[in-house]
Structures are given as C-alpha cells and as structure tokens.
Structure 1
C-alpha cells in the first residue's frame, strides 16, 4: 500500500485537475448560448440558399456555369474539413475523421487524387500526417465569433480550382449540431450542383432532413424551364453560386463551433465527475492507511508497556 504522503499528493493533483475541468466546463457553458444563437440565425439563409441552388441546377439555362456541370470522369476531388482549434472536446474531431477517412480512401482506391482544405488547427495537424492526401490550404484560430472574411481565402482556392477544371468534386465535412448531447459528423456534397440536388432529394426521401434543409426539392422535370435573369444569366449565376459556397461553408463553421462548446462542456462535466470519484476512492484508501498506522503505533506502545 502507498504511503499516506503519496496518497495525499495524488489527491492534491486530482483536485487541481478537477479545478481545470470545472473551469473549462463553465467557460463552454457560458459560450454555447452565443454560439447557438449565431448558428440558428444563419441556418435559415443557408437552407434557403441550398434550396434555390438545387432548383437552379435543374434549370435549362443558355449559360452553362462550371458549377452546374457534373463531369463523368472524376480525376481529383477535394474535401473542406472543419474541426476545432483546441482539444478537450471528447471524440468530436476523431469521430469526424473516422467519417471522412473511409470516404477519402474509397476515392483513392479508384485512382482519384484527393486534396484537403483544413479549417481548424486539429484538421491541419491531422492531415499533415496522412499519406496520399494533398493539404492545399488551411485556416485556423477563427475565434468565438468567426467572420466570413476569414474564410474567403480557402473558399477562393476551391472555387478557382473547380472553375479551372482541376477539381471534379468538392465535399464539406463538419460536425452538425443536433442538440447539446448529440453532434453528428457529416459529409455533404458542395460541388457540382446537380450532385448537391440529388443528395438533398435523397435526404428528403430517407429521413426528411434533420434540419429541413432539403424540403420540397424534386429533380423530376416535366418540361424545360428557366429563370428570368437581370442583367444576364452569366452575371447573376457567377455571383449567386459564389455566395452559395460561402454561405454553406460559413454555416458549417458555425455548426462546428456550437458542437465544439457542447462537446467540451459534456466532456469536462464527465471529467469532473470522474475526478470526484477518484478523490473519494483515494480519500478512503488514505483513511484506511492512516487508521492502520495509528493502530500499529498503539499496538507498539501497548506492547512496550507490557514488556516493562
């Protein structure tokens, strides 16, 4: 059995660790409300943008934007992966990596090159160690109030590469915030738009879409139709499709931020509870050791007195 001094040292170190976990839990609990408010405020715009873009993908316009063309031969794909900058948030990031890596390996098995654009320090560190994956861009330390301007550089890398024909598919990987206890690792199609529309229709038919973003999207066409564009289709589509990509990526960042605070709050609460349990067990062991030492001393005194 360890000495009383060793046990007291363990209890003290566990108590110090509990102070840290409690502080992190309280910080995340105070920040999660603001993160949820930002996420909920942005959701309606992102949902409606996806619905509009899905309908645009079905239109028979004279102007064919590169984002509207689904290439048959896929030679290179890109994944925009959104993670946290810091750890101590349970399995949030690792669950997303487990969801993303099999999809990447499946493309690689077909001989397709895979590029990754990392948003968040954890994604940067992870994909630097993965062989066969090209890390072509990154951004981190977005803070508790991410701005769209911070993401423009990464988004432009994707848009330019797809427009130039260097990319044939673009996917977005992030943690979708369901509630405080549940965050769902998600991989959505970002480009081309016909693939997005098909994915939204599948989500609508399978599960009604967790956030309702795929509602009312139908791919069946009974006749050719198109929107009326002002001033012209090229100008409008160039602007709208760029805003679509920006809004979806930005919404993914907000969803991931809310998921981060929720996951960290739950993980630190669990860590604090475990620390309390360990402290209780160590205190019991310390009391037993102390009692055994006192009993031994009394026995020695009594034995010495009897000998005299």
Structure 2
C-alpha cells in the first residue's frame, strides 16, 4: 500500500489537473457558442450565393465552365481539415482514418493524388507516415475569418482549374450535436447538377449582364471558396464540441479518481492510527 504522503500528493496533483480540465471545458463551451453563431450568420450568404448559381447555371444547361464539367478522374485532390492542438478526443482520428482508407483503396501510386491540409495535427500525422503535403495552413484561429483560409481554398481551385487534379474532396468532422460529431467527406469539384440547383430560383427572372458565362467565371470560384469556408466553420464547431466533451469526461474521471484516492487515504490513515494504538497498548502492557 502507498504511503500517506504519496496518496496525498496524488490527490493534490489530480485536483490541480481537474481545475485545468474544468477551465478548458468552460473555454471550449464559450468557443462552441461563437462557432455555432458564425455558422448561422454565414448561412444567409450561402443561400444568396446558391440562388445566384441556380439562376445562372441552372438556366444555362450547356455551360462549358470547367467547374461544371465532369471529366475522367486521373488525379484526385484531398483537402483535410484537422485541429492545430490535441485534447479533442477522437476528433482528428476519424477524419484521418477515412482519408487513409480512401487513398489506399483508390490509388496505387503517390502521383495519383494531391493532399492539402488545414491544421498542424494533420500535417504532422501525414508527414510522419511518408505522405507528401502539397499545401497547408496551420495556426488557424478558433473563429477563422474568410481571408485567413482563402489562400488554401484558392490553391485547391487553381489545382482543379489547371487540370492538375480532376476532383476535389474535403475530409472533415461534421458537427451534429454537442455530444456527436461525424467524420465526413464531400466532393466539392466538379460541381454536380444538384450543387448548382440548391437555390430557390428567386433570381430566375433577373437579366444578367454582360452574359451568363462571364458571370459564371467570376461567381463559381467564389461559390466554391464559400463552400470550403462553410465546411471549415462546421469543422471548427465540431472541434470545439469534441474538446468540450473530452474535457468534461476528463473532469469527471478526475473527480472519480479523487474519491477513490480519498477513500484509500482514509483507510491508510485509519490503519496507521490503529497500528499506533496497538504499539502504545503493547508497550504499556510490557511495562506492567
């Protein structure tokens, strides 16, 4: 059995750890509320973008814009969204597992795909396993601005526009509820007919100048950038929720451990007192 001093030291260290995890839980809770607010505020912009795309692309079925054209997939592009820091439970594991499973099942050589990464965890994970990262952004803010992630979105779009890749898939953790996030993936490029008809057609009666093809060449890249940014906001909300849940579980485990250690401490203390009484009684008896 451990000594009283050792048990007391463990109790104190666990209490300090509990204070840290409880504080991190509260911080993550606050960040989650802001992340959910950001997602809701971004939704009206996406709705208007979808209306515009539906009005322009939906009416122009024969558009030759490359983002609307399906082509043979010779090289795939993967955009992976992970966190910069740990302590978020299995948040990153599910996303990276899905990515590696798809790469192994679809490709035999490294020149058949390109990988773009957001988040230091993903960069370290892939590089340590020998994968080449074409581009990355790390140290992403907890509440990312559009400008801060626009560079990686533009790089992905340029890779597709220059025909260096023939499709772009995003791997991320989708925010479902505070207690649930789901590792997900979605194809962003090329835009499917469903993607270009998500709007409500409220602009269908508008007249566009100079012509719809010129408008598509400007608005489609912006739309794809918006899709990527919206996915990043979703992933950030999922990250904060995962970290909040992980810290709550850690706090609960610390509380349980403190209770067990306190019980062990009391038993050890009672045993020590009993032994002292026994020694005193034994010594008194020997003197009689």
Q: Shared fold by TM > 0.5?
A: yes
**Post-superposition offset of 1:296:** 0.8
Question: Over residues 60-95 of structure 1, what are the superposed CA-to-partner deviations in whole Å (9 max), with x where a residue is unaligned?
Answer: 5555111122112x2211111112221111111112
Q: Is structure 2 residue 277 aligned with structure 1 residue 279?
A: no
Aligned-pair CA distance for 1:280: 0.5
Note the aligned Cα RMSD (angstroms).
2.7
Does the CA contact (< 8 Å) of 2:54 and 2:199 recur in 1?
Answer: no
Q: Is the 8 A contact 2:53 2:199 kept in 1?
A: no
Q: CA deviation at 1:110?
A: 8.2
Cα distance in structure 1, aligned partners of 2:81 and 2:248:
24
Distance 2:246 2:53 in 1: 38
1:208 maps to none
Q: Does the Cα contact within 8 Å between 1:54 and 1:193 map onto a contact in 2?
A: no
8 Å CA contact 2:54–2:198 kept in 1: the answer is no
Which residue pairs with 2:176 in the alignment?
178
Whole-angstrom distance in 2 between the partners of 1:112 and 1:192: 20
Q: 1:95 to 1:47 in 2, by over 3 A?
A: farther
Please report how far the alpha carbon of residue 6 of structure 1 lies from its aligned counterpart in structure 2 after TM superposition.
Answer: 0.8
The 2-side partners of 1:271 and 1:234 are apart by 55
Q: Distance in 1 between matches of 2:4 and 2:213?
A: 78
From 138, 141, 151, the counterpart of 1:140: 138
**Residue 40 and residue 127 in structure 1: after superposition, are their counterparts in 2 closer, same or farther (change >3 A)?**
same
Q: 1:279 Cα deviation (Å)?
A: 0.5
SS of alignment partner, residue 70 of structure 1? coil
Gaps of 5+ in 1: 202-212, 218-226
Name 1:101's counterpart in structure 2. 100
- Counterpart of 2:218 in structure 1 is 239
Give the match for residue 118 of structure 1: 117
Per the alignment, residue 68 of structure 1 pairs with 68
Q: C-alpha distance in 2, partners of 1:193/1:184? A: 23
Residue equivalent to 1:32:
32
Q: Which residue of 2 aligns with 1:152?
A: 150
| Residue aligning to 2:248 | 269
| 8 Å Cα contact 1:57-1:193 kept in structure 2 | no
Q: C-alpha distance in 1, partners of 2:225/2:282?
A: 84
2:56–2:212: 8 Å Cα contact kept in structure 1? Answer: no
When the two structures are superposed, what TM-score results if normalisation uses the length of structure 1?
A: 0.83
Deviations 1:125-147 (CA, angstroms, capped at 9, x unpaired): 2221233x331111122213311
Q: TM-score, normalised by structure 2?
A: 0.89
State whether residues 54 and 200 of structure 2, in contact with CA within 8 Å, keep that contact through their aligned partners in structure 1. no
Alpha-carbon separation, structure 1, partners of 2:243 and 2:173: 13
1:153–1:214 CA distance, 2 compared to 1 (3 A): same
Unaligned runs of 5+ in 2: none
* Alignment size in residue pairs: 284
Deviations 1:134-179 (A, max 9, x none): 3111112221331111122212211221111110110111222111
Q: 2: distance between equivalents of 1:251 and 1:285?
A: 51
